[in-house]
Structure 1
Amino acid sequence: MARTDVPQQQGEPDGPRRSDRTPEGAGPPPLPPTPPGASEATRLLCAGAYLDDTFRDTVIDELYIHEERFAAPSLGIDAARVLAHALRARRLELSWAAAILLLWIAAIPLSAGLVVLYLFPIVLMALGRAVRRAPIPRWLAVLCAFVLCWYGRLSLTLYCLSLLVVACGGANVNVDWMFLPLPDALNPLTSGAPDGSGSYGSSPSEGALSQGMVASALGGGIGVTTLLPVWIALLLPLALAVIVALQRGQFARALAHELSRERFPDVMSDPAERARSHRSRRLRERVRVEQHGPLVMYRAAHPFCGAGYPYKTWSLAVELNPRADRDPEPLDNGAILARIIPLVAALRVPSPHGSPGAAAVRDRLRALEIDECVFLPAEGLPTRAAAPYAPAEFEGHRAAAVEEGGETRRHFLRIRIGGWDEGIVTTLFVRVHTQGGMLMLEVAPHVLLPLRQLFQDADRLAHQYRHHDRFGKAVWALSHTPRSAGNAPLTLLRGLLPSWQLGTAGHGVALPEGPGASVRELGSFGESSLFQDMDVARYLGTVQQRVVAGVTTALREAGYQTAEFEQRVVHVAEGGVYIESAQGAVGVGDHNTITHNTPHRDSD
C-alpha cells in the first residue's frame, strides 16, 4: 500500500511524534501557539494590501489616519504588520503612478503634442467600462460598452499604425476616421501645417498626419529630428507597458521573498517593518499593545468588534435553590469560573488511544486558548494613552469586574480556537453572574469567516505571473496600459487625501473612541465551506458542554440543586426555547397556522 504523508499543520512541533516520549498517564503537551505576526492569516492579509486598494485604504484610514481610535482585538493576526505592508504598498503605488504621470508630461512637448491624441481612444474605453456598470437595462449597457470599447481599441491600434507608417518614411496618413473634428488651434497634427503637404488632396485641417506637419510643428526641416516626435509618440505605449509590467512584477517578487511562507515568520527581515516614519512606528507599537491584550476598549454600538459575527448567542437565568441534604455555601462568580477553566483546558489533551499515535493528534482543540478579558468603554478617557493596559491596572479592573456584573465594564472568559491556519476563528465569551438568588449564564459565540478568495489566491497569482512566458506578460501589460493613464492621476489624488486629512481633520487631538473596524473582519469573506462549518459546530458544542459541566459542578459543590439548570440549558444552548408552562396555543417552526378554540362552560 502506498504511503501518503499528510502536510504538517502550522503550529505543530517539528520532528517525529512518538508516544513513548510522553510519561505514562500523561497526555501529549498542547500544541505550541503560532505567533500572530507569523500566522498564515497575517501573511495573506499583508498580500491583500497589494492586491486590493480598497482594503489597503480602509486599513490605513482605521489604524493610521484615525489615531484616536483604539485597535480592535486581532484574533490570530498582527494588525500592525498588516498596516506596515499597507503603507508600503501605498508608497510603491504612488511611486509607480508618479512615474507614469511624469512620462506622459515629458512626452507631450517632446512629441509635439502627438501623444495627446492617445487620450481619445483611452477615454472611449474608460466610458465603455463605466457604461457597463450604469443603472440602465442590461442589454443596452452591454451593447454600448461593446461599441465604445472596441471603437476605442480599433482607434488606438490604427493610430499607432499610422504613426509607424510615418516614422518609417511612408506617405501621409489621414486620421479623420478616428478623431472628432478638432479646431486647428487644438489639433497638434494640423496646427500651422502648410497647404500642399501631400495629403492626397486633403487640407491640413482635415487631419492629415505627415512629416511636413511634424516639421512645421517643430519649426525645422524634414530629417531625423523631424521624426523624433513621431518616434516618441510611438514608443510611449511601450514605455508605459514596461512600467505596468514592472509594477505587477513587484507584487510577484514580494510574494516570492518577504511574503513567502519560508521568510514571513522572520519579522526582523521584513522591509515593511523597517519604515523610517516616526508616526508609522509609533502607531504600530500602539496597535501591538492594544490588539492582543486582555483589556478591550470598545465602542458601545459594536462591543465585539474584531471577533466576527455572532453565532447562536444564548443566555440563561435559573433560581439558586438549596439542596435539602445540606446547607448552601456562598457562591460567587469567581468560584464558578474556577470550575469552568480546568474543564475547558482539559480539551487540549487528546483522549487515550489504543494505538501509539496519541501524540500525533492534530485536532485544533490542542491549541485552544483561554484568558480572562475585561471590556471597558472608550468614552470618557482624556487620551488614548490613558487606557489602563498596565498589568497592575488591568488586574484591578479584572478583580472588580468579575463580581460586580456592571453594564459598561464587563468581565468575560474568552475561549478561542483558531482553525484552518487562523482562517476560521471560533471564540466564545462566557459570563456568569449571581444576583438576588439567581444565576445568570451568558454565552456569546463569535466566528471569524475565511479570508477573501482573492487573498487566498495570492500565492497562485504570483506563481502564475512569475512562470508565465514573456509573450503572455507582454500581452497582459499592453492590455492594462490604456487604463494606467487614468489610474495614475486618480491614484496620486487618492494618495494625497490621507495627508490632507492628517493636516486638517485634527484626529490627533480628538477624544479617544472605540474601534470602527477590524482588519481581520475587513479581510473576511461571507462564506465558509462545509468542512469549516462542521468544525465550528464541533468546537462550539464541545466547549459549551464543558462550560455547562463547570457551572453544574460549581452548583453541586456549593450545595445547590442542578436539575432545573441541566434541564433548561439543553433547550436554550441548542437554540430552542424552554417553556416552563404553556397555556393556550403554541406554534413550533415556521409558517404555522394557530387556531384558538375557547372552551364553553356548561351551565348549571
Structure 2
Amino acid sequence: MTRTPVPQQPGEPDGRPPLRKDPADSADIPRGLPATPPGASEATRLLCAGTYMDDGFRDAVIDELYVHEERFAAPSLGIDAARVLAHALRARRLQLAWAAGILLLWIVAIPLSGGLAAVYFSPVVMIALSRVVARAPIPWWTARIGAFLLRWYGRLSLLVFMVSLVVTVCGGDLPLMAVTWPISLLLPDAWTGGMPDPGSFGDSGWDSGRGSGWGSGWGSGPLDGGLDTTYAGQAGEGTVLFRAWVALVLPLLLATMVGLHRGQWAHALTRELSKHRFPDAMSDPAERAEGFRFRRLRDRVRTEQHGPLVMYRAANPFCGAGTPFKTWSLSVELRPREDRETEPLDNRAILDRVIPLVAALRVPSPHGSPEVAAAVRDRLRELEIDECVFLPAEGLKSRTAAPYAPEACAEHLAAAVEEGGEPRRHFLRIRVGGWNEGIVTTVFVRVHTQGGMLMLEVAPHVLWPLRQVFQDADRIAHHYRHHNHFGKAVWALARTPRSAGTAVVTLLRGLLSTWQLATGGYGGALPDGPRASVRELGSDGEASLFQDMDVARYLETIQLRVAAGVTTALDDAGYHTEEFEQKVVNVAPGGAYVESFQGALGVGNNNTITNNSNNSNTTGAPGQSNRSTTQRGSASKSASKSASKGSAKRGNG
C-alpha cells in the first residue's frame, strides 16, 4: 500500500503543525478566482430562455416555486432560481395573451364567415387523428395505412377548400361542400348556412337556378331550408363574398400571430436574455414585474437557495445537488501510536486538515513565472468550499420560521459539526462549476468520531448539462431572426393548424394554475421540503465525453485531497494511519478507490480480492482490466430520463 503524499501548504512552518487551527489561520487558505454570480451565470440565462421554449418546464417551475409556496426552495448550485421563476411567469403571461388573441380571432371569424371558418376544423382534425393512429397499439401496416389515408384526406380537403374560396372571391363558381364532411354534420344550420354533405350532390344540388356562386349550390340537399333563410333569403352576393373573404383571410391572420409570437421570443433572446445584457438584472423586465405574491416569493427563494442552511425532505435530502455519483463511506479504528502522545481528535479538527488541502487545488502549479501561472483557467481555480447543515422541514409551524438568520445558521453549524445526529447533519460542501455551470460537481464530506472509531462519508453529486434545446436557444433565435420572409411565412403557416388546439391547452393550463392557487390553500399549509429543483428540471443527463472526463477529474482530485486530509489529521493527532491507508488505495495516477458499501474492487490483471465478511475470493480474468471507480455505471443510460425528477439518473456503482 502506498501512502497518499500530503503537500506542504504555503505559509506552513516546518515540522509537525498544531492540530487545532486558530480562526485567524483561515486567511492563509488559498483564494480562488472570483466566481460569476449565480444570477448572471450562463446556466441561469439558458434556463430563463427555456421557460419560453418548453411549456412543461415552465409550468413545473411555476408549480414548485409559485403555486406550492409552503415548499422550501432547493439549493440552486450555480443558478438563481428566483430569476428563472420571474421569466417563467413572464413567459406564461405572454403565452396566455397570444392564446387568448388566437381564440378571440376564431370566435370572431366563425360568425362573421357564416360558419365557413369552422370548415377548417375538419382537415385539421383529420391530420391530428393521423398522428394518433400512427402511434396506436395496432398492427403496424394497419396504422400506416390508416394514418396515410387520414393525413392525405385532411391535406387534400384543406387544399380543395382553400382553392374553392379563392375561386369564389374572384367571382368564379365552384362546388365547395364535399370537403366539409363530417364537420357539416355537427354544425347547426344557422352556422353552416345549409351546407350539404357529400351525399347531397345531384342534378338539383348545384344547378337549381337560384343564381350563381354559393347561393345556387346551397339551395337543396338534406339541409335544405338553411340556405334559403341564411344565404339566399337574407344574404346577398356581397355578404357571401364578405364571408368568403373572412374565411380566406383567417389562416393568414393566424399565421401572422404565430409568427409574431415566435418573433417576440427571438427578440427577447437578443435583448434582455442576450449574453451581454443578461448580467444586468436591474434592466430585466421580468424582474420588474408587479405583484405582491411574486415579490414575496422571489425574496424568499433568494434567501433559501444559497444559504448554509438546507431544509430538506426525508425522501430526497440532496434535492438540488443532482445525481448521486458513487457515494461511499468507510470506518476505521482510532489506535494511538506508542511513540507519540495523542491529542484530542474530533470532527472539527479533521475538517481543519481537509479544508486547506482541498483549497490548495485553487493554486496553479509552478509555471516559471507568476504571469504564466495567473493565465491558467482551470475550473479548479474557482472551486468553492463551504460548510452547510441539513435540517428537516417537518416540525416547523411556517416557512418563515426557518432559522435563516446569520446568527441562527452559525449556531446550527457549530452544534451540528460535533453532534453526529440523524435529522440534523453537518457537511463540508465542495463544488466545482464547469462548462459555465453546465456541469456542476459537488462533493459532500461528513466525518464523525464515536467510540474510538472514525467514520468518513463522501457523497459526490453531479448536475448534468441542460437540455440540448436550451443550449441551442441562441442558435434557434439567430436562425429565425435572420431567416428570409418566405421561410418565416412557411414556418408560421405550417404551425397554424395546431394553433387553436395549442391555445386551448395553454388557457386550460393557466386556468388550472389559477384554480390551484385559489383552492389549494398552500399558503396556510405546514412547510415542506422541496420536491423538485429548477436546475434538475432543466437537465437531460446527456453529457459529452469531454464533460465526463472533467467530472472524473474533479471527483478523483477532490476525493484524494479529502483522504489526504484525514490521513494528515490522524497522523498529527498521534494515531495509526495504516488501516485507513489500506482502505484508501492508489489505483491509478489521479484516481482513488475507497471501500464502498458494495465491497472491494480489484485493479489490474490476475488480482485476487478477499471479502472478510464471507471469506470468499474473486480472481480477475487474465487480460481483463477493471474500470476506474469514478466511471458511471452501465445502467445509467436506461434511467437517464426521469420525468418525476426531471434529471438523469446515474448508476451508483
Determine if contact 1:75/1:292 at 8 Å carries over to the other structure. yes
SS in 1 for 2:192: coil
Query: What is the deviation of 1:353?
Result: 1.1
State the alpha-carbon separation in 2 of the partners of residues 539 and 283 from structure 1.
35
Alignment partners' CA distance in 1, 2:517 and 2:230: 50
For the residues of structure 2 that align with 1:509 and 1:29, how far apart are their CA atoms?
44
Partner of 1:551: 566
Aligned partner letter, 2:89: L
Distance 1:418 1:456 in 2: 16
Mapped pair 1:349 → 2:363: yes
Unaligned stretches of 5+ in structure 2?
1-27, 197-204, 586-591, 601-609, 622-653
1:537 paired with 2:537, answer: no
Please give the per-residue CA displacement for 1:342-366, whole angstroms capped at 9, x wherever unaligned: 1111110101013651111010000
Query: Distance in 2 between the 1:374 and 1:214 partners?
Result: 78
Aligned AA (1:247) = H
**1:496-522 CA distance string (max 9 Å, x none):** 001100111111111001000000000
Alignment of 1:61-100 (within 5 A): 61-100=63-102
1:600 equivalent in structure 2: none
Would the aligned equivalents of 1:125 and 1:153 in 2 still touch at CA under 8 Å? yes
- Answering whether residue 590 of structure 2 is matched by residue 586 of structure 1, we say no
1:372 to 387, 390, 414: 387
**Counterpart of 1:14?**
none
Find the residue that maps to 1:204 and give its secondary structure: coil
Instruction: For 1:560, give the aligned amino acid.
Output: Y
Q: Please give the alpha-carbon distance, in whole angstroms, between the structure 1 residues aligned to 2:473 and 2:427.
A: 37
Query: Residue 157 of structure 1 aligns with which residue?
Result: 159
Deviations along 1:512-543, one digit per CA (max 9) or x if unpaired, are 01000000000001221111111111111111
| Secondary structure in structure 1 of the residue aligned to 2:497 | helix
Residues 1:566 and 2:581 are matched in the alignment: yes
2:479 aligns to what? Answer: 464
In structure 1, stretches of 5+ residues that fail to align are 1-25, 591-604
- Between the aligned partners of 1:491 and 1:205, the Cα distance in structure 2 is 41
Alignment of 1:61-460 (within 5 A): 61-180=63-182, 182=185, 185=189, 188-190=192-194, 196-197=209-210, 204-206=219-221, 216=231, 219-223=234-238, 225-354=239-368, 356-460=371-475
- Give yes or no for contact 1:172–1:199 (8 Å, CA) kept in 2: no
Counting matched residue pairs gives 562
Query: Are residues 386 and 320 of structure 1, via their aligned partners in 2, closer, same or farther at CA, if it must alter by over 3 Å?
Result: same
- Matched-pair identity in %: 67
> How far 1:90 moved relative to its partner?
0.5
2:119 and 2:180 in contact (8 A); partners too: no
Deviation (angstroms), 1:202: 6.4
Cα distance change, pair 580–206 in 1 and its aligned pair in 2 (3 A): same
**Kept after mapping to 2: 8 A contact 1:365/1:417:** yes
- The answer to whether the 8 Å contact 1:112/1:217 transfers is no
In 1, distance between residues paired with 2:31 and 2:568?
Answer: 26
Partner-residue secondary structure (3-state), 2:178: coil
CA shift for structure 1 position 218: 7.6
Provide the TM-score with structure 2 as the length reference. 0.82
**TM-score (norm: length of structure 1):** 0.88
Deviation of 1:222 (Å): 2.5
Distance (Å, rounded) in 2 between the aligned partners of 1:400 and 1:380: 19
Residue 161 and residue 296 in structure 1: after superposition, are their counterparts in 2 closer, same or farther (change >3 A)? same
* Worse-matched range after superposition: 82-91 or 126-135: 126-135
1:502-517 matched pairs, under 5 angstroms: 502-517=517-532
Aligned mates of 2:116, 2:534 — CA distance in 1: 46
Corresponding letter in the other structure for 2:564: A
Q: Contact conserved, 2:611 with 2:617, CA < 8 A, in 1?
A: no
1:44 aligned residue: 46
**For the Cα contact (< 8 Å) 2:134–2:144, is it kept in 1?**
yes
Indicate if the aligned counterparts of 2:312 and 2:319 stay in contact, CA closer than 8 A: yes
Residue identity matched to 2:131 = R
Preserved contact between residue 335 and residue 554 of structure 1 (Cα < 8 Å): yes
> Alignment partner of 2:287: what SS?
helix
1:176 touches 1:207 (CA, 8 Å); kept in 2? no
Q: State the match for 1:595 in structure 2.
A: none
Letter in 1 for 2:192: P
Structure 1, residues 113-149: CA drift from partner, whole Å, max 9, x if none? 1111111111111212222333334443333223222
CA distance in 2, matches of 1:203, 1:418: 70
Aligned counterparts of 1:323 and 1:117: Cα–Cα separation in 2: 91
SS in 1 for 2:498: helix
- Structure-1 separation of matches of 2:470 and 2:292: 29
The one-letter amino acid of 1:586's match is: N
- Say if 1:419 and 1:226 are closer, same or farther in 2 by CA, change over 3 A: same
Q: 1:277 to 1:143 in 2, by over 3 A?
A: farther
Q: In the aligned structure 2, how far is the partner of 1:174 from the partner of 1:97?
A: 30
